[in-house]
């Protein structure tokens, strides 16, 4: 007999292989980019959503894994403000050198942030005055990249598969769903949503959401 265990990392750490392990699956989300602040009174642009990736084969055998693996969790890009107008890029997330995914781009004063690129790409942030871009929806799966951030001007963020813009920590986020993009001036939904564009002089650009790394472990029972 066997059982499984789910380990979800929301900050960078070190994974240690259990002696009873026989295989793992990985679900990795990168961080979203931050929204920007305009050059004058007006509206900024939305940050790109972080991307998602799953292990390319169903399970990775324990014998192919080292005893310890560095887990890197991308941090969301900061939103732009009057002092630093461009949004920051979202950080990459990775499980050692076995699987990694790039973060969403931060928006600048002149351009929206592009979603992180992967087999499950993040949604693009939008130009000022527009709804955030939806993450591309894969067939037969709830997992998608984070939604793109909305532009400034009172708009909602983009969707991530069935997750609406602005929604954070949706049901089964550990393995199945990512966050929606942030609305104007709001942070992206965790995990991976892009931050909404700012609206001067009142709302700074929203921060991109952090990523996460989930390791699904399949283990032999103790009496085997």
CA distance 123 to 17: 34
- Dihedral of CA 33/35/36/37: which sign? negative
**For 54-70, how does the pLDDT look when each residue is reduced to its tens digit (9 = 90+)?**
998 779 999 999 999 99
Q: Average pLDDT in the 160-167 region? A: 95
CA distance 27 to 16: 17
Taking CA atoms, 118 is separated from 54, 92, 187, in Å, by: 10, 11, 22
DSSP H helices in 154-219: none
CA distance 113 to 49: 8
- DSSP 8-state class, residue 213: E
CA distance 200 to 182: 17
Closest CA to 130 of 200, 197, 208, 36: 197
Q: Can you give the pLDDT at residue 223?
A: 59
* 100, β-bridge pairs: 94
Q: Which structure tokens are listed for 82?
A: 């009057």
Q: Average pLDDT in the 192-213 region? A: 96
**pTM of the predicted model, to two decimals?**
0.95
- Coil, strand or helix: which one is 156? coil
Closest CA to 109 of 140, 142, 84: 84
- Residue 51 pLDDT > 80, yes or no? yes
Q: Can you give the pLDDT at residue 39?
A: 85
How many distinct structural domains can be found in the chain? 1
The answer to which of 144-148, 152-156, 205-209 has the lowest mean pLDDT is 152-156
Q: Average pLDDT in the 171-197 region? A: 97
Percent of the chain beyond pLDDT 70?
Answer: 98
Q: Please give the residue range of the domain that contains residue 206.
A: 1-224
The per-residue DSSP string of 69-91 comes to EEEE-PPPPPPP-SSS-SPPPPP
**For 75-104, how does the pLDDT look when each residue is reduced to its tens digit (9 = 90+)?**
999 999 999 999 999 999 999 999 999 999
Taking CA atoms, 127 is separated from 49, 101, 122, 183, in Å, by: 14, 24, 16, 12
Percent of the chain beyond pLDDT 90?
Answer: 88
């Amino acid at each position: 007999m066997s059982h499984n265990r789910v380990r979800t990392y929301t900050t960078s750490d070190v994974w240690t292989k259990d002696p009873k392990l026989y295989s793992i699956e990985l679900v990795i989300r990168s961080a979203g980019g931050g929204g920007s602040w305009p050059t004058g009174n007006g509206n900024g642009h939305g940050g790109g959503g972080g991307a998602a990736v799953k292990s390319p084969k169903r399970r990775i055998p324990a014998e192919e894994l080292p005893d310890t693996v560095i887990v890197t969790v991308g941090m969301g890009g900061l939103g732009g403000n009057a002092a630093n107008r461009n949004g920051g890029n979202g950080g990459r997330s990775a499980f050692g050198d076995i699987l990694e995914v790039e973060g969403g781009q931060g928006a600048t004063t002149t351009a929206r942030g592009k979603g992180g690129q992967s087999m499950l790409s993040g949604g693009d942030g939008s130009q000022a005055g527009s709804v955030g871009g939806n993450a591309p929806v894969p067939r037969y799966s709830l997992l998608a990249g984070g939604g793109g951030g909305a532009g400034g001007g009172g708009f909602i963020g983009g969707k991530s598969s069935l997750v609406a813009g602005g929604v954070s920590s949706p049901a089964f986020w550990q393995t199945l769903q990512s966050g929606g993009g942030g609305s104007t001036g709001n942070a992206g939904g965790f995990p991976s949503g892009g931050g909404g564009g700012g609206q001067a002089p009142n709302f700074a650009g929203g921060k991109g959401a952090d990523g996460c790394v989930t390791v699904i472990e399949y283990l032999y029972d103790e009496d085997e």
